[in-house]
Amino acid sequence: MALVTHIRVPGLIPLGAGLCVCLVSSLADPGIVQAQQMDHAHQQVEGEIQVMPSASMIMPMIRNPMLPGVRSARPSVTEFLPGGGIDPTTLPMAGPRQIVDLASGDTLDLEATLVRKKVAGETFVMYAFNRQIPGPLIRVDRGAEVHVRFTNRIDMETTVHWHGLRLDNRFDGVPGLTQDPVQPGDTFYYTIRFPDAGIYWYHPHVREDIQQDLGLYGNMLVRPDRDPYADFVHSEQVVTLDDILIEGKELVPFGREAANFSIMGRFGNVLLVNGEQSYDLEAKTGEVVRFYLTNVANTRTFNLSFGGAPMKLVGADIGRFEKEMFVTSVAIAPAQRYVVEVMFENPGEHAVVNRITALNHMQGKFFSAVDTLGVVRVAETRATPDRSVAFRELHVDEEVQREVEPYRKYMKAPVDRELLLTVDITELPVQVMQFIAIDTTYRSPVEFTDVMSHMNWLSTSNEVRWILRDTETGAENMDIDWRFDVGDVVKIRLRNDPDAFHPMNHPVHLHGQRFLVLSRDGVPNENLVWKDTALLPVGATVDILLEVTNPGHWMLHCHIAEHLEAGMMMAFAVQPGGKE
């Protein structure tokens, strides 16, 4: 049975400097940055492209405001950093991620603990699963069912959410919906199953703005039954993308009672790959590396490339694309996963970069910026066997095509439900409110960085309420009452209100099921892939098709940690035994 067909392409898409994010992103994710909107940004960039060496140079000082009249303003929350009252020198240093291969029926002991970790020359108290940042990489075969004996040894209550898995509802890790939070010292037994091959991740579902940001995240790699693509690559790398916010010699404190940085989310100024400030990979000439990429950052969307090495986009959140595509870079919003294959044709150093278009809200100017995340050092030695012929082919996954075929007819079907994504902001200092009002004149489809850090820092979930609104009933967030039956296919329209007081992109995540992105702004998606997180740029309308397969009570929420804390979530109920 031939699952893979081959399309020979005459040459690779030319790769050059000065790429615009619009091309890249529209290729990378049907639910991502809208091309026409990015054109606006692009025009403004022309003639004033700046290359900046680091994220920290883009971000102004947070607690040293430029805006007159608000210099003494502070967030309406008390400050929180972990490990209060503990002598940090008694804490173990976090180590690198270990690989754990689990067979069906196995049990993993997982512990969330306080650790110390050195970042940018300073040592901070952070959190870790099994003293590792990222947490253990769990590798299983598709169809496996494993147990996790989870113990909470941090100074906050917590849970573990198994992101992207269609598992039993009671193990989904959502406090107040599927379980009680796990108190410090307590243990919770999770049973997790893996019906779909792909790259997944786990993280707490309590105060993600703190716990996930400080190291509580790890990947799960689910092997397919049979991998017709295994012979197309030489090696595989599982990579997390993250950032952390340091000012002076300390982490910028979090809000104890509620999250700070509620408007745009907490952007870090030090970028982290697999928990480290610099990523180093050795490769051979001609080596084809498959990268499993996960964005674990609170709010930052990355736009990644590998020093001009040709890159093929092959998979996303839950499995493979129908068709492989050559891309110049891949844009990844928080919680999203992408799988890319990169061929390192030439010896030498290839910089791993995050190339973004940013908006200076103070000046209303768009600019380009490039951050280096690490380097791939390609040795003169040639990789064997030669995989260059297979790499230049674009493969079609007939299994995925067969699976999504019945859903194509919904492209033109009427919309069943609609959510408007918007915001309500009150009671910030008047100067800040005025600034935000003016600032909204300049809209960035995707905020790739934070150039209004001080005002962002001041905003907490006491003043900012991010909203999902059911446009039919007017109900908002947890007041929305959606009920489905197993077997339903639901077309949901997501509209990101461009006229909100401060519009922002939102990665919308749905628990326990999978969906297809059918169209963006009315343009049908010709290359479907199963997903659990779709990025909604400002002003975008994205139609998703929810395949309802898994009974229980499930969350739909924005995966910007601070937007979630500021209310941007709802739950929906799925009754078992419905239509098939």
Task: List Cβ neighbours of 391 (8 Å cut-off, separation of 6 or more).
Answer: 232, 288, 310, 312, 341, 343
CA atoms of 489 and 484, how far apart (whole Å) = 9
The minimum distance between CB 173 and Cu ion, in angstroms, equals 20
Dist CA 94 CA 128 (whole Å): 7
Query: By C-beta, is 316 or 560 nearer to Cu ion?
Result: 560
For the bound state, the minimum distance from the C-beta of residue 443 to Cu ion, rounded and expressed in Å, comes to 15
Q: What angle do CA 461, 466, 467 make, to 5 degrees?
A: 140
Q: How many residues bind Cu ion (CB under 5 A)?
A: 4
Burial state string for 427-447 with b = 16 or more CB within 10 A and e = fewer than 16: ebbeebeebbeebbebbbbbb
β pairing state of 122-129 and 348-360: unpaired
Which CB sits closer to Cu ion, 314 or 358? 358
Shortest distance in whole angstroms from residue 37 CB to Cu ion: 17
Report the 10 Å Cβ neighbour count for 207.
22
Q: Provide the minimum distance between the beta carbon of 326 and Cu ion in the complex, in angstroms, as a whole number.
A: 30
Q: How near is the Cβ of 265 to Cu ion at its closest, in Å? A: 7
467 in contact with Cu ion (CB under 5 A): no
The least distance separating Cu ion from the CB of residue 460, rounded to whole angstroms, comes to 15
Task: Please give the Cα distance from 289 to 308 (Å, whole number).
Answer: 14
Stretch that binds Cu ion, among 123-131, 249-257, 412-420, 501-509 (CB under 5 A): 501-509
Q: How far is the CB of 31 from Cu ion (least distance, A)?
A: 14
- Which of 560, 561, 569, 570 is the binder for Cu ion (CB under 5 A)? 560
Question: 86 phi and psi, to 5 degrees?
Answer: -105, 135
Nearer to Cu ion, 65 or 537 (CB): 537
Question: Using the rule CB under 5 A, is 558 a contact of Cu ion?
Answer: yes
Q: Which uninterrupted H or E stretch holds 395?
A: strand 393-397
Nearer to Cu ion, 45 or 423 (CB): 423
Nearer to Cu ion, 126 or 517 (CB): 517
CB-CB contact of 282 with 377 (8 Å): yes
Footprint of Cu ion on 383-402 (CB under 5 A): none
Rounded CA-CA distance 348/307 in Å is 10
Q: Is 401 helix (H, G, I), strand (E, B) or coil?
A: helix
Instruction: Return d(Cα 450, Cα 243) in angstroms, integer.
Output: 12
Q: Which stretch binds Cu ion (CB under 5 A): 140-148, 385-393, 505-513, 516-524?
A: 505-513
170 is written with which tokens?
Answer: 């009671």
Residue 563 interacts with Cu ion (CB under 5 A): yes or no? yes
Nearer to Cu ion, 454 or 509 (CB): 509
CB of 237 to Cu ion, least distance (A): 29
Residue 78, both tokens: 């008390």
At what angle are helices 35-45 and 21-28 packed, to 10 degrees?
160
- Characterise 252 by phi-psi region: left (phi > 0), alpha (psi -120 to 50), beta (else): beta
Q: Is the dihedral of CA 283, 288, 292, 298 positive or negative?
A: positive
Interface segment toward Cu ion; rule CB under 5 A; list 111-119, 130-138, 341-349, 558-566: 558-566
Contact by Cβ (8 Å): 37, 393: no
Pick from 506, 511, 514, 531: which binds Cu ion (CB under 5 A)?
A: 506
535 and 300 Cβ atoms separated by less than 8 Å: no
Give me the least distance between CB of 362 and Cu ion, in Å please. Answer: 23
Indicate if the alpha-carbon torsion angle 363, 368, 372, 373 is positive or negative: positive
The least distance separating Cu ion from the CB of residue 49, rounded to whole angstroms, comes to: 29
Taking CB under 5 A as the binding criterion, the range among 100-108, 424-432, 433-441, 557-565 that sits at the site for Cu ion is 557-565
Please say which residue, 290 or 563, places its beta carbon nearer to Cu ion.
563
| Span from 8-16, 24-32, 386-394, 561-569 in contact with Cu ion (CB under 5 A) | 561-569
Q: Is residue 495 close enough to count as binding Cu ion by CB under 5 A?
A: no
Using omega within 30 degrees of 0 as the cis cutoff, is the peptide bond preceding 385 cis? yes
The candidate with the shortest Cα–Cα distance to 242, out of 271, 206, 221, 265, is 271
Q: Which region, judged by CB under 5 A, interacts with Cu ion, from 40-48, 88-96, 174-182, 554-562?
A: 554-562
Supply the minimum distance, in Å, between the C-beta of residue 557 and Cu ion: 8
- We find the least distance from the C-beta atom of residue 218 to Cu ion, in angstroms, to be 23
Residue 579 beta carbon to Cu ion: minimum distance, rounded to whole angstroms: 33
Residue 397 or 532 with smaller CB distance to Cu ion: 532
Contact, 204 vs 127, CB < 8 A? no
Q: Binding to Cu ion by residue 22, rule CB under 5 A?
A: no
Of residues 203 and 350, the one with the C-beta less far from Cu ion: 203
Say if CB 466 and CB 264 are below 8 A apart: no
Find out whether 558 and 164 touch, Cβ atoms under 8 Å: no
Contacts of Cu ion in 404-423 (CB under 5 A): none
Which segment (27-35, 100-108, 411-419, 504-512) binds Cu ion by CB under 5 A?
504-512
Segment interacting with Cu ion (CB under 5 A) among 1-9, 314-322, 531-539, 556-564 = 556-564
Beta bridge partners of 277: none
* Interacting span for Cu ion (CB under 5 A) from 9-17, 53-61, 479-487, 560-568: 560-568
Interface positions with Cu ion (CB under 5 A) = 506, 558, 560, 563
